Structure 1
Amino acid sequence: MQANFSEIQKVIDHIEINFDREVAAHEIESISHYSYRNFQRIFFRLFNETISGFQKRLRLENAYKKLIYTEDSLSEIAWQVGYFNIQSFSKAFKKQYSISPAEARKQKHDIFKKFIKDYKTDLKIEIKYKDTVSVYSKFIKAKDYNNEEIDALWKEIEPDAEIFETAYGIIRDQPLITNHSHCRYGAAVTSDEEIKGLVKSDIFGGKYARFTHYGAYGNILETYRSFYQSWLSGKQLLLDNSDVIEEYEEPEITHIYFPLYE
């Protein structure tokens, strides 16, 4: 069976938007134009996990981000990600991560410790409001945000030269939480015309902490380390669990937008 990746991406987008509830079989059938059983087979073959497992993982990963990014109570977070009581949330979370939600929050610094080490920084962070932007995008699983896989995706979208006026990278997962093999990266561009093979959606729309990476993209992790070091050592901004957006202004200038919790 030949998979229509555009339709598959639409289903994934729908599940991600509605991660806090169980997406019904009829919704998936309506979007994908496959029977639920057939779509389940396609999904598992492509991503090596079931649809229900994917939905559960999204709930718990978003919960983990909220635990370390915000000051919301455990009961509030449980409700926000679709659990109706703290007991069932705590049980599911501990089964997934081998620690309780309360322990995860207390160990926030330990999560970032190995990544940032003793990195020192004078990174300039600005607060920016960004209007919604319509883009055409394609997502891949980029293991641990591997640059070779990301480069290959961009070569597929822009095979000859930089033909789009504005280009963005969408960082959907927090690799310190999400299993490296599940990390997702989206290449997004703006266009007045429909782009075959890409899915139209909106990005931005809200308040962001912006900082800038200068130099080759292959060294961008150093700038992320600077951000997290600054974030952990200073008066902490409350971050949101939604996408981090990279805006590619020039070949060696990348603005990075972290969504802020409001």
Structure 2
Amino acid sequence: MEPKKYRRGTAREYRRRIQRVLAHIVENLDRDLRGESLAELACFSRFHFHRVFRGMLGEGVAALVKRLRLERAAFGLREGKASVTQLALEAGFENLESFSRAFKGAYGIPPSVFGRSEAPNPRIRVSNGVHWDMGGTPMDFESPAAPGEGFGLRLVKRPAARIAFVRHVGPLDQCGEAWDRLLGVLGVEGWLGGDVDFFGICYDNPDEVPVEALRYDACATVPAHFAGFEGLELGELPGGDFAVTTHFGAYARIGESWERLFGAWLPGSGYEPADNPCFEQYLNSPESCAEEDLCTDLFLPIRPLAHMNPDSPSSDDRFRPETRPATGE
């Protein structure tokens, strides 16, 4: 399939959904702003809401909430109507020390000095233009992502695939052990032929989930009759319609390609994310080529964009691989 031309109408729909979330955040800045409820508000699958948000604003939800709370505290300091300790607690910090550290990191000076400065600017410079404003709620934003015309991308339909996988829990840059276990077992048992494809699935949003709790599956395709081996789990990689782009180069920069896919191409594509996780297909390996020659296909599950109905948020049937241990063949 060929990607559709950039559609301003669907881009407006995406903008409207994100504006609704921004209004909710600003109006409820003291509440627990969890991603699942925000995803429902925007009528996006919770699998993909955070990537859409970050892609369109250049800033994640958690970072934006923290910044707006700091800006609100800076306004409070300028007005001199509350103590630094009270403003720190209102900004969601457990103690004055952590608040002062975050505040100085954002403004360059401690909060005690900020309140006495000449005409301080409470607004932290960001490209999206979203700021705390005592006089009202921001309803618009600037997107740092340019419209996705000319974005190297293809639309594909692929069947579901049976996979053997090893789950890694922790920092994503430490998933090598899971790959060593997967490839070690398959290699010893003679299942690493030329028709095996390798995929990675990350289930959690680093903006919401502590880095030590992030889940990632190192996956290899296996035949339908594959019964497995001890130490591996079996599951199914979902099929369907996908937008696919190729990331060239280091895995450490793969997030930039995901952000461009979600922020530049998706809003004007005529599609929205479907209710399955994204995944990556590794076309070569650091063991066989230089880092700059690595090629990774990024798969975004898609469906035609539906007009937002706040009373009917998108369904969210989460994909869960089988978690039963695999037995020997």
Deviations 1:37-66 (A, max 9, x none): xxxxxxxxxxxxxxxxxxxxxxxxxxxxxx
On the 8 A contact 1:210/1:256 being kept in 2, the answer is yes
Structure that is richer in helix per residue: 1
Q: TM-score, normalised by structure 1?
A: 0.52
- Residue 130, structure 1, aligned to residue 172, structure 2: no
| CA distance in structure 2 between the aligned counterparts of 1:104 and 1:185, rounded to whole angstroms | 27
Query: TM-score with structure 2 length normalisation?
Result: 0.43
Shift of 1:231: 3.5
Corresponding position of 1:78:
none
User: Which residue, out of 194, 197, 200, partners 1:166?
Assistant: 197
Unaligned runs of 5+ in 2: 1-13, 18-30, 44-48, 61-126, 128-143, 286-293, 305-329
Which one of 217, 234, 240 corresponds to residue 251 of structure 2?
217
Q: Aligned-residue CA RMSD in angstroms?
A: 4.0
CA contact (8 A) 2:170 2:213 kept: yes
% identical aligned pairs: 18
Residue from 23, 30, 34 that aligns with 1:97: 34
Extract structure 1 runs of 4+ deviating beyond 6 A: 106-109
In 2 relative to 1, CA 199–255 (structure 1 residues): closer, same or farther, beyond 3 Å? Answer: same
| CA deviation vs aligned residue, 1:210-248 (integer Å, no higher than 9, x gap) | 111112222211211221221365345210232112111
Give aligned pairs, total.
Answer: 172
Structure number with larger C-alpha Rg: 2
1:215–1:253 CA contact under 8 A, matched in 2: yes
Measure how far apart 1:161 and its partner are: 10
Residue in 1 that maps onto 2:7? none
**Are the equivalent residues in 2 in contact too, given 1:173–1:243 (CA < 8 A)?**
no
Counterpart-to-counterpart distance in 1, 2:303 and 2:205 = 16
Correspondence for 1:256 = 298
Which aligned pairs between 1:21-100 and structure 2 lie closer than 5 A?
95=32, 97=34
Give how far 1:124 is off: 1.7
SS of the aligned residue for 1:250 comes to coil
Deviations 1:162-199 (A, max 9, x none): 84522111122333454544321101112344232111
3-state secondary structure, aligned to 1:242: coil
Give the letter for the 2:300 counterpart. F
1:161 and 1:136, CA in 2 relative to 1: closer, same or farther beyond 3 A?
closer
Q: Distance in 2 between matches of 1:188 and 1:102?
A: 27
**3-state DSSP of counterpart to 1:220:** helix
**SS of equivalent to 1:201:** strand
